[in-house]
Structure 1
Amino acid sequence: MSDTTPDTTPLERLRAAIAEVHLPLELQDAPEARLRARRSLQQIDDYIAPRLENLDAPLLAVVGGSTGAGKSTLVNALVGHPVTRTGAIRPTTRQPILLHNPVDRDSFTGTRVLPELARITGVPVKEGTPSRQAGDAPDAKLISSVVLVGDDAVPEQLAILDAPDVDSIADENRALAEQLLQAADLWIFVTTANRYADAVPWKHLDAASQRDMTVAVVLNRVPEGAREVESDLRMMLDERGLGEAPIFVIPEAPLNELDMLPEEQVKPLREWLAEIANDRATRREVARRSVAGAVQQLARDTALVANARRSQIDAASDLATLVKAKHDDAAARVIDATKDGALLRAEVLARWQDYIGTSDVFRTLEAWFGRARDAVTSWVQGKPAPIREVEREIEHGLYSVIIDEAGRAAGESWQTLRHSQAAASLKADPSLGRESSGLDEKASRLIRDWQFSLMQMIRESASSKRVEARLLSLGLNAVTVALMVAVFASTGGLTGGEIAIAGGSAVVGQKLLETVFGDETVRRMAKKAREDLEWRIDELFEHEYARYAALIDPVLEGPDDSELSDAASELASEVTR
């Protein structure tokens, strides 16, 4: 979830949510969503936030268009003389120039708009200097800066920004051009009679229509007698919802000795801009329309990001469910092995029978108990029965099942990752295909800890001196092993007639326990012993799964799709009401 407080605005909440969106999985919709998320953050910082803060701030008119359309020439003509960036560097659409009236300087020197771009103060070229000179070359290091040039010819409350080509061969130029257009209050889009139908400019004009932008189109270099070009352009604008956009036609004519257009050719456009700049209500309406359109576009982009976020969450959740199921199934198989006598192999039962000395002919429980006590006594006196061997066999059997099933779960989980398109970008360590390196010690410790807990339970269950005496007579280890054998031979706890036997030995173990503690206490001990063992096994396999969870869970962190959608809706409602 995004880190917001009740004092944050809807825009701040939406920005925080978008900034926290995590789309690491290479799903089909992820690349476009990442692009939209970056663009949304940039749009908020460059334009929406500063414009919502002050609708009356000076407008920014961005001059955009295709390569060679004559954007810089048009900008120079609008102010009546060439402009430059710094020193000998002449106008180039690689480094944008922002022309403003000197009284509006403070509105553009700070980071109110386009905060990522550094500011450089430019100066006009000397009078009589051509706008372009041979040998000039753009400085690639200045791509992240904007040149501010103050000029009295620019009307107050409106700045003009010369952007890079929207179809530049340089990726960084195209990206900057789009960023600058997204930060504009209005567009002056420049095209030519030869290229007005090109696809790339219309992609941006379509975006302007979706945003309800104020747009003026300059049709440059129109040959004499080719007025049908303007008619065709007007029809195309109408079809795309830009029928209100004015078209300014500049006839094809040679430039003067300073590479400047004749002043009368740009006079209509200059007057249109001045009319907007000089009327506060008009400026405010231009700003309002533009920022409202930007918010609507932000909402559409956020919806796409939200859908991609849902895809990521679903894919990660499905992957986690599959891998978790592998480990849960493995834990269940280990638990099943402790219920059906699978751990009581022939060697275990044989050694257990050797220890308790059972036969088919003992007549009474007390008679058998005396024999068991004698067996223990002889063991203490130096004729040991194989109780430790029984204990070791049981331990080894449980240990082997745990290790085998953990390795199986890891191998199956690794294959799930390898065959998942969603997981391909997670860069999982191949070691995940095996049980964890410390599992052998963890499994051994699990068994030791469980045995210790059984001993503690047995001690705590010695509720009388008679029970203590019998416990002392038989020995704590012997009683503990008897409980383990009985638990492993049972399908559901030790209850007289419901026990499933792996041979008659489990009955003897049960009877021994009941003789020491009583039937009710034995049932309680068996139930608690099984629950304790199953909890420990489940916890061990949870730790094994945690290796995969550490890989998958980060995908689930951050805002979900509903948080993004709700924040976008809240912002749109606030701006449009």
Structure 2
Amino acid sequence: MLTEVVRLHGALRAAPLPLDLPGVSALRQAREQVIEQLEDYVIPRLTEIEAPLLVVVGGSTGAGKSTLVNTLVGHKVTTPGLLRPTTRSPVLVHHPDEGHWFGPERLLPELTRVAEPTHDQASIQLVPSPQVPRGLAILDAPDVDSVDEGNRQLAAQLLSAADLWLFVTSAARYSDQVPWEHLRTAVERNTAVALVLSRTPADDVTTVSVHLARMMAARGLKDSPLFAVPQGEVSEDGLLPTSYAAEIRDWLDVLAADSAGRRSVVSQTVAGAVRTVTRKAFPIADAAQLQVEAVAGLLASADEVHDEAQRSLLAAAGDGSLLRGDLLARWQEFVGSGELLRSTEAKVGFVRERLVNAIKGKPQQAERVGVAIEMALEAAVVDHAERAAAQAAAAWSTEEYGARLLASTTDDLTRAGRALRTRTEKEVRGWLEELAEFVRHEAADVRHTARFLALGVRGLSTALAAVALAGPAADATGTAVRPGESLLETVLGRAAADRLVDQARGNLERRLTGLLGGERARYLAPAEQWQLRPDAPDQLRQAARRVDDLRFAAAKKGTGGHL
């Protein structure tokens, strides 16, 4: 059981609910409460099943909890609060030989252990006392209805860590709503509870006790003990006369001396806590599933617009769309459009010589074409990325949690990434350098010919880039680039030219896809900060079922006390 409960705790931790979906607030609070219940009580108690029985004294404001604790112990161990709210830390009284059971690794790990009274709500004062019997510890908790929220939260946390509630109320407060809400929680968890009616005039004890007993029976507490502590004079040490709490003290002494009885109380409370945890785990898992699906929907919308942007960009980079404007003018200047076209229409015997003459002495024009290619590709990438970002952000903004995700990151997801231009420039230059390497490799056998020397690697790689961008188009742009195709075939041969063009297009597609992939990845980062694992809901359900199976098996065998 301990192993599976620890796994359930891990599964709950792995299923956060960060998105503000409808109804998530209550489930978010339930998840935190369940995790705290496991950390503060169930796991420590299952780890140390033989630890002393922890009796938490809780209840209403002014009910006399601290006075009762002092009276039970027989000397002053905790100071009653004269002013409200009482903000001192809780006090845990234990037998001197059993202090090792109450270290932070075994109980309430978030609270700092101190030996002196303090007003720090994040601390717990440990007080050894030989008057406390072995096998038992008493913890004085803050008021459950304190006007201080921190006190209320701490009181709830301490009660959740109890094996047994000793719930104190008074004639003036016993019908208040807040204490009964806590007692209802105890009933739901099947926590062991005893009620104490304190600060009640002796003449009213019987009447109020009867009424309180009826309320207990109506609310599922008919089998819980009910003790009465009449109103009396409190000594300077904060104690009532010993006889006032003698019945409670005798009951606790008997319980402390009865190991089977203590185990029964612990078994009842642990089993109830485990049942409550597993019952609440399933709606939490359902909520986590909705969270995963919501984020998946956001990411799917971002994927959709980036898929379309990628398709559009690759099409533009392979159908001649970029060979226009300044780039087309630079290209035509480079190839000497009119002369080169006439050359390609001349007789085959004159083509090679005319091509060489047309290109000879134009390295600067080749450089200008390369720069124009860089600028055209950079503009195309940024334009497609900008439009994709705007569309993805607009889709996310239609949902409140999507808008929150956009606002949660310092990266402006409504625009292309700030580093995109630099990355694009690097990729395009890398592509052009890659084409130059292709040409060097393919032209190894002709590098000393007049044709190659006249053109050079730069001229041929520039022509290769232009042909790759033109694609198979047969329109005016395609016609304009045909001299480049003829040039490559003339110098390198048709088979090599075709192979280089295919490689150039494939490598450009890979680089452009990587650039937009980086833009797409920007939308994953904000979602990853929420740590929503797609398998977390199923893992949580499976963990809860395993714990339930063990609990059912133990109950069937009648060994619930040996969880």
Q: TM-score, normalised by structure 2?
A: 0.82
70, 81, 96: which one pairs with 2:64? Answer: 70
Shift of residue 302 of structure 1? 4.2
Residue 486 of structure 1 is matched in structure 2 by 467
Structure 2 matches for 1:99-248, cutoff 5 A? 99-108=93-102, 112-121=106-115, 140-141=119-120, 144-152=123-131, 154-221=132-199, 224=203, 230=209, 232-248=211-227
Shift of residue 148 of structure 1? 1.4
Shift of residue 200 of structure 1? 1.2
- Report the identity percentage: 35
Distance 2:155 2:99 in 1: 22
Shift of the 341–39 alpha-carbon distance from structure 1 to 2, 3 Å rule, reads: same
Alignment deviations for residues 124-174 of structure 1 (CA, whole Å, 9 cap, x no partner): xxxxxxxxxxxxxx952366122414142x443222222111011112211
Residue 49 of structure 2 corresponds to residue 55 of structure 1: yes
Residue 557 of structure 2 is matched in structure 1 by none
492, 502, 505: which one pairs with 2:480? Answer: 505
Alignment deviations for residues 330-357 of structure 1 (CA, whole Å, 9 cap, x no partner): 3333222122321111551643662452
Alignment deviations for residues 285-337 of structure 1 (CA, whole Å, 9 cap, x no partner): 11112122222333345445544544443343333333344444333332221
Distance 1:254 1:89 in 2: 17
**1:66 and 1:191 in contact (8 A); partners too:** yes
Distance 1:475 1:139 in 2: 85
Distance 1:212 1:365 in 2: 99
Residue 540 of structure 2 corresponds to residue 564 of structure 1: yes
**1:100 and 1:148 in contact (8 A); partners too:** yes
Residue 550 of structure 1 is matched in structure 2 by 525
Distance 2:320 2:434 in 1: 21
| One-letter code aligned to 1:357 | L
Distance 1:27 1:409 in 2: 26
Structure 2 matches for 1:16-31, cutoff 5 A? 16-19=10-13, 24-27=18-21
Shift of residue 33 of structure 1? 5.3
Shift of residue 59 of structure 1? 0.5
Shift of residue 212 of structure 1? 1.3
Shift of the 499–515 alpha-carbon distance from structure 1 to 2, 3 Å rule, reads: farther
Distance 1:22 1:469 in 2: 71
Distance 2:459 2:100 in 1: 90
333, 358, 363: which one pairs with 1:351? Answer: 333
- RMSD over aligned Cα atoms: 3.9
Three-state SS of the structure 2 residue aligned to 1:357 is: helix
Residue 129 of structure 1 is matched in structure 2 by none
Residue 359 of structure 2 corresponds to residue 376 of structure 1: yes
300, 304, 314: which one pairs with 1:335? Answer: 314
**2:95 and 2:130 in contact (8 A); partners too:** yes
Shift of residue 185 of structure 1? 0.6
Three-state SS of the structure 2 residue aligned to 1:358 is: helix
**1:84 and 1:90 in contact (8 A); partners too:** no
Structure 2 matches for 1:73-92, cutoff 5 A? 73-79=67-73, 81-85=74-78
Aligned length: 542
Distance 2:47 2:168 in 1: 30
Residue 514 of structure 1 is matched in structure 2 by 489
| One-letter code aligned to 1:563 | Q
Please identify, of 350-359 and 187-196, the stretch whose mean Cα deviation from structure 2 is larger: 350-359
Distance 2:157 2:364 in 1: 85
Three-state SS of the structure 1 residue aligned to 2:196 is: strand
Alignment deviations for residues 497-547 of structure 1 (CA, whole Å, 9 cap, x no partner): x85662522334333333444444433322221111011111122233444
Alignment deviations for residues 357-384 of structure 1 (CA, whole Å, 9 cap, x no partner): 214992544443432122124x36xxx8
Shift of the 374–17 alpha-carbon distance from structure 1 to 2, 3 Å rule, reads: same
Residue 404 of structure 1 is matched in structure 2 by 383
**1:55 and 1:288 in contact (8 A); partners too:** no
Distance 1:519 1:277 in 2: 98
| One-letter code aligned to 1:541 | L
| One-letter code aligned to 2:164 | L
Residue 323 of structure 1 is matched in structure 2 by 302
Alignment gaps of 5+ in structure 1? 1-7, 123-137
Alignment gaps of 5+ in structure 2? 555-563
Shift of the 278–468 alpha-carbon distance from structure 1 to 2, 3 Å rule, reads: farther
Distance 2:341 2:466 in 1: 15
